[in-house]
Structure 1
Amino acid sequence: MPDNVLENVGEEYEFEFVDVQSTPVVINSLGSDSADVGLLAYSSLANAIQNEMIPGGQSVIAPLTYDGPRYADTYNSTSGSSITDINGLDGNTLGVNGVGSAIDIAARVVLTRNDIDLDNVEFREVSFGAMPSTLSEGRVDVGTFIQPFFEMNSDDLQTVFDTTDAFGSFLKIFVTARDDFIDENDDAIRAFLGDLWTGIEWWKDDDNSETRLDIAEEVVELPRDLLEALVQTDRGYYHGEDGLAIDPEWLQKPIDGMAEVGFLDEEIDMSEYVDNSYLPEEANTEPTIE
């Protein structure tokens, strides 16, 4: 795509991927100036703001993935399990990828709002890749699934609840940049976001469906038939293809959830950290989110 689709890379800006394992490490990379722009989840951003982990501040400048209105991350028991709704978790074990992670906090919000004492649920940390075997072997009673792991195991699962039960549709992962970098590289940021929009428009065009599957197959190394079920379908994540402008409320809902279950010392006004002004004009419209 940089060679054949994107228009500005290599001339208006250059980029290098910094590959890390989680969004908290992205915060460390931004805070140490070893990265200028990063992909963050709402939980890591809130912690960064609360603890002033990025000197000079940070701004959310574009969306990456929403939970809803297509796929939302799910909490599943095995097919045939007696745990079929949220109340079944009382006194049982929930597997999450990490305590304090975005998916962990959403679960705590749903449990709290259903009057389930969090002390009556054992939260066990399990990587997403190990979640299917951990669940099937009975080491957790309910496990959390993101795509493509849900699609790969859906025949053996029943969904107990999902993250939209906590927040409705919301912005989960997004492009965040250091404010000092933005101030010094205004034109490069605009060019980068212009290419982001160009790439999204190309990606959603069904005339490019075979090529985008070629790209996905090469990058993620999963079977093509699985990718056909996920890439640009209702089983995959929503990326704001009908507009990239961020309504701060889509971030406010999960951040308020963090405060509700005690992960934040005080409330954070997300309107202070969302900046749509660097988006290309044609992308600076709000997507249709239900």
Structure 2
Amino acid sequence: MRSKGHETGRAAALVLAVLLAVGLAAGTAWAQGKKPVVLRHGHGGGVPSDIAPVLFTPWIQQNVLKHYGKVYTVQWTRTKGSPHAAAMLAAGEADLATLSFTTIAFTILKNSVPGGVKVVADTKIDGYPGYRSNVWVVRAEEPIHKVADLKGRVVSMNEFGAGLDVGLRVMLRKHGLDPLKDVNIVEINFGNQGPALRQKRIDLALLLQPFEGREFKKGGIRRLFTLKDAIGTNHMIFQVATNKILKEQPEAVRAYFDDYVRALQWYLDPKNRPKMLDVVAEATKLPKESYGYFLTQEDDFRDPNACPRLEYIQRPVDLMLELGFIKERADISKHFDTSYLPSPCKA
């Protein structure tokens, strides 16, 4: 809404009342005719596993969100993993991104993003009690029944330096294998992991949802270990913002997360599940039957208020130091700010 010279005082008062009722200061900028701020977001992982983009589909924008297109818009860039997303932040090509515990540690220690970054919101937690964990699988007929049996084999992950890469290397070390000498680690995107395993191009595949469910339905594969087995419950990915965007456009960032949480809670509401699955199916161009697991305990855990959990980031980062992946400790608490979320997070 924009005020016009011919509007009556009564209409202008009504506009002001609506803005006050919304309670978002960013609405003032929109009412004064300012263009929406474009937030550049680098996201990665399988959709809807990386849930952010499907929270902003056209139907959700029109029926659930309050601020999209008024206070802000989002320019999404899909990456193949968190190292790529971190590189976008460092190059000034993104304002927000989904990072893993590994890439936030490297980003902090290398001071690679001008002005720095902060962890600001949850995306998903791997291995949360009662929920799934990312899994590595082998062909059912192979004589690989323990991690040590992988010696001399070809094993895969999605991107070198990603959280899943470190998880794989930790598990190999735990079982007496040198990741550099005893196995051949290759990089394969999530969607091609299952086919590569069946084609015998690799001997160990990494499966995230929705690929995990699809591949197990086909049969012929066997679970070997999970990421939780390697590093415990962990914040697989979370949302990070540059200090630059937080300083220059705080109202737009708050509006974005207000909408993010509103959409997430709409998705999580059981009464909306039938429509939610239709929305996801339309966004991904796949049958909604493919997403029976989505936002259940067969999926990753997502905090309904988008609150990140500091301990699930710091603990695996400290493990990286213990095992020599990094040379000094990265203190995540100094780069952690949940004040841009609509509801307070528990300490």
Tell me the TM-score normalised to structure 1 length. Answer: 0.90
Instruction: Spell out the pairing of 1:258-269 with structure 2 (5 A cutoff).
Output: 258-269=320-331
Give 1:37 deviation, angstroms. 1.2
Question: How far apart, in 1, do the equivalents of 2:88 and 2:135 lie?
Answer: 29
Aligned alpha-carbon RMSD (Å): 1.9
Q: Which residue of 1 aligns with 2:303?
A: 240
Aligned partner of 2:102 in structure 1 is: 43
- Bigger drift between 16-25 and 119-128 goes to 16-25
Partner of 1:29: 88
Q: Deviations for 1:260-279, whole angstroms, at most 9, x for unmatched residues? A: 44332222111111111222
Percent identity at matched positions? Answer: 27
- Computing the radius of gyration from Cα coordinates, the structure with the larger value is 2
Cα distance in 1 for partners of 2:163, 2:224 equals 18
Give 3-state SS (helix, strand or coil) of 1:208's partner.
Answer: helix
* 4+ residue segments displaced more than 4 Å: none
Of 119, 139, 147, the residue aligned with 1:78 is 139
Determine the structure 1 residue equivalent to 2:264: 200
Distance 2:189 2:183 in 1: 18
Number of the residue aligned with 1:254: 316
For the 8 Å contact 1:244–1:279, the answer to whether it is kept is: yes
Residues 74 and 144 of structure 1 are in contact (CA less than 8 Å); yes or no, is this contact kept in structure 2?
yes
Equivalent residue for 1:135, pick from 192, 197, 217: 197
8 Å contact from structure 1 (residues 62, 246) kept in 2: yes
* In 1, Cα distance between equivalents of 2:266 and 2:248: 29
Q: Distance in 1 between matches of 2:338 and 2:168?
A: 30
Unaligned runs of 5+ in 1: none
Q: How does 1:53-132 map to 2 (within 5 A)?
A: 53-69=112-128, 70-118=131-179, 119-132=181-194
CA contact (8 A) 2:80 2:159 kept: no
- TM-score scaled to structure 2, two decimals? 0.76
Is the 2:83–2:161 contact (alpha carbons within 8 Å) kept by the matching residues of 1? no
Q: 17, 20, 31: which one pairs with 2:79?
A: 20
Partner of 2:67: 8
Task: Give aligned pairs, total.
Answer: 283
CA separation in 1, counterparts of 2:208 and 2:134?
5
CA contact (8 A) 1:244 1:285 kept: no
CA pair 25-92 structure 1, distance change in 2 beyond 3 A: closer
| Per-residue deviation, 1:17 | 1.9
> Any stretches of 5+ residues in structure 2 without a counterpart?
1-59
For the 8 Å contact 2:81–2:159, the answer to whether it is kept is no
Offset, 1:67 = 0.8
CA shift, 1:76, in A, is 0.5
CA pair 202-255 structure 1, distance change in 2 beyond 3 A: same
Counterpart amino acid of residue 33 in structure 1: G
Residue identity in the other structure for 2:284: V
